[in-house]
Chain A
Amino acid sequence: MSLAVQTTGLRRVFGDRAVLDGIDLRVRRGEFLALLGASGTGKTTLLRILAGLDAATSGTVLVPPVRTVVFQEPRLIPSKRALANVILGQGRGARAKGLAALAEVGLSGHADAWPATLSGGEAQRVALARALVREPELLLLDEPFAALDALTRLHMQDLIAELCARHRPAVVLVTHDVEEAILLADRIVVLREGAFVTDLTVELDRPRDRVDGDFVALRRRLLADLGVSAKEPGHVGVAR
């Protein structure tokens, strides 16, 4: 079994608080892992360490050489057009690949648009195209839908599911949205007080149905792990 991520005894200390306290994480190649946790539990810190943006205080980290990040905000360069943002640092030879990536996220018509003229969802799709065009072995998603409206978020979740099924990178998705985690992930871990309190494989068949009994049960269990006592959703269709 080949791995895409392996951390051993990973610790990250801010001041005298261990945000990550001995994390052992193994992610298989092609596996979609969702990392759940309440605010401030260190899930973004873990993702930033995997991305190589922050250093761990101690422990070992192994990741693939090609890995890309989609941040919570699009983080596009305002002085470059959409296509130039997608192929950033790849040279002009990557134009065809960049256009293909934009087409995959449904934005072929916006290659020449300035980032400031794009809507929030469009900009985030450009950011996704920028992450995919590099053909990453590890795709890191840091709450990429959090700043989007509910409808756009649903579209983006479908898009991510489809693109990840096609390209099969290993994915680590950081989120606080339990439903999103269940919808997308092969495996879910819950981070609490610096350690994993849950590590489970999602056995539900795809495409997953939010009103399915197993879905609801899993959702309730994960919310309990997160420290939220879930009420029975009264109006399931509009629960979100």
Chain B
Amino acid sequence: MTVLTGQETAGLVPPDPPRNTGRHPAASLALRVLGPALLVGLWYAGTASGVITPDVLAGPQDVVKTFGELWADGQMQEALGVSLTRAGLGLLLGASAGLVIGVLSGLSRLGEELLDSSMQALRAIPFLALTSLFMVWFGIEETSKILLISVACTFPMYINVSSGVRNVDRKVVEAARSFGLGRLALAREVVLPGALPSIFAGLRLSTTLSVVALIAAEEINVTAGLGYLMARATDYLRTDILALCVILYALIGLTADVILRLAERFTMPWRKAVAAR
């Protein structure tokens, strides 16, 4: 190795490669928790200092206490069970319908011509406008509630699935077809796995919407569920129960999202290798 002289390497610079931004999982988790923790902290500071009075909003410690009381006498479990069943069944029905229609419309030109225009028109209807109509058609029992939720969940799923199916690599589809895969096998082996990222995107949107629709549905003559709990709390001006229900809605959404993210990782092992970050 010759001795380096400054003149030889004049004007040269060390390259600046992208730094490895991999963060320790614990640090990453801490960063994720930071935002919600700050919010709760602000809430606590506001109520404890008396800036926010209990008739406006109860403090976090009261909300936790109320949760304990409602859990102890079994009301909470019952309400959660009823509401989650409604949201879950509605999501299952709606997302399945969106998936099937989306695949049909994405996969075949005939399907798109037949289905897409009606789906786009129906999508424009705010599902809240259907609440009263569904009461007239399906009664005031569970059926109308679950159907309302499923209608709300159908469209985000449909939009994402149909575009995801359309965006599956045509070359791979062509290759698979040349190896003798029929339409059904093609959909199962190539198209659906390829569209999985979009399917999950749709599912996440639908899950959020199922909780939104749940609240609307529980305005219809409820005798059980989180909506019932909230309706009664409104009558008695119990801001602790109201705040508790709001938080529960947020937690339900968050939990569903975490489950879906895990499912995403589990069902698409090939994506880990190509993640951009």
Measured CB to CB, the residues of A under 8 A from B are 1-6, 8, 24, 49-56, 60-65
Give chain A residues whose Cβ lies under 8 Å from the Cβ of B19: 55
Most buried by B among A1, A62, A63: A62
Interface-facing stretch out of B1-9, B84-92, B216-224: B1-9
| Interface contact B17-A55, CB-CB below 8 Å | yes
B13 on interface, CB distance cutoff 8 Å: yes
Smallest CB–CB gap between B37 and chain A, Å?
A: 34
Closest approach, in angstroms, between the C-beta of B236 and any C-beta of chain A?
58
Known: A24-B1, A55-B20. A1 touches B15 (CB 8 A): no
Q: List 7 A-B contacts (CB under 8 A).
A: A3-B8, A3-B12, A50-B15, A61-B15, A63-B14, A64-B11, A64-B12
Residue B124 CB within 8 A of the other chain: no
Contacts of B16 in A (CB 8 A): 52
The answer to whether residues A49 and B15 also contact, given A6-B9, A55-B20, A62-B9 and a CB cut-off of 8 A, is yes
| CB closest residue in chain B, given A55 | B17
Is A63 a contact of B12 with CB atoms below 8 Å?
Answer: yes
Contact of A2 among B1, B8, B18 (CB under 8 A): B8
Determine the residue in chain A with the shortest Cβ distance to B13.
A65
Is A4 in contact with B17, judged by CB distance below 8 angstroms? no
Bound Cα distance from A53 to B16, whole angstroms: 8
The minimal Cβ–Cβ distance linking A172 to chain B, given in whole angstroms, is 13
Residue of A nearest to B8 (CB): A3
- The interface residues of chain B lying within 8 Å CB-to-CB of A1 are 8
Q: Check A51–B12 contact: CB distance below 8 A.
A: no
**Is B10 among interface residues, defined by CB-CB distance under 8 A?**
yes
The chain A residue sitting closest to B19, CB to CB, is A55
Q: How far is the CA of A10 from the CA of B223 in the complex (A)?
A: 73
B277 to chain A, nearest CB (A): 15
- Select B9's contact among A3, A24, A65, beta carbons within 8 Å: A3
Closest to B10 in A: A2
Q: Look across to chain B and name the residue whose beta carbon is closest to the beta carbon of A62.
A: B12
Q: Look across to chain B and name the residue whose beta carbon is closest to the beta carbon of A67.
A: B15
Complex formed: what's the CA distance from A49 to B14 in Å? 10
In the complex, which residues of chain A have a beta carbon less than 8 angstroms from the beta carbon of B9? 3, 6, 62
A2, A3, A8, A52: the one contacting B15 at CB < 8 Å is: A52
* Smallest beta-carbon distance B6→chain A, Å: 11
Question: In the complex, what residues of B have CB within 8 A of residue A50's CB?
Answer: 15
A65 to B88, CA, bound (A): 58
Q: How far is the CA of A24 from the CA of B4 in the complex (A)?
A: 12
Nearest residue (CB) in A for B1 is: A24
Given contacts A3-B8, A24-B1, contact A63 B13 (CB under 8 A): yes
State in angstroms the CA–CA spacing of A65 and B15 once bound together: 8
Given A2-B8, A3-B8, A62–B1 Cβ distance below 8 Å?
no
Interface centre among B7, B11, B15, B16, by most A CB within 10 Å? B15
> Which chain B residues numbered 258 to 277 have a C-beta less than 8 Å away from chain A?
none
Q: In the complex, which residue of chain B has the Cβ closest to the Cβ of A9? A: B1
The one of B10, B11, B12, B17 in contact with A52, judged by C-beta atoms closer than 8 angstroms, is B17
A55, B15: Cα distance in complex, Å = 8
A13 to B153, CA, bound (A): 49
Q: How far is the CA of A8 from the CA of B8 in the complex (A)?
A: 14
The 0/1 profile, CB within 8 Å of A marked 1, for residues 13-32 of chain B is 11111111000000000000
CA distance A164 to B10 in the complex (A): 22
A239 to chain B, nearest CB (A): 32
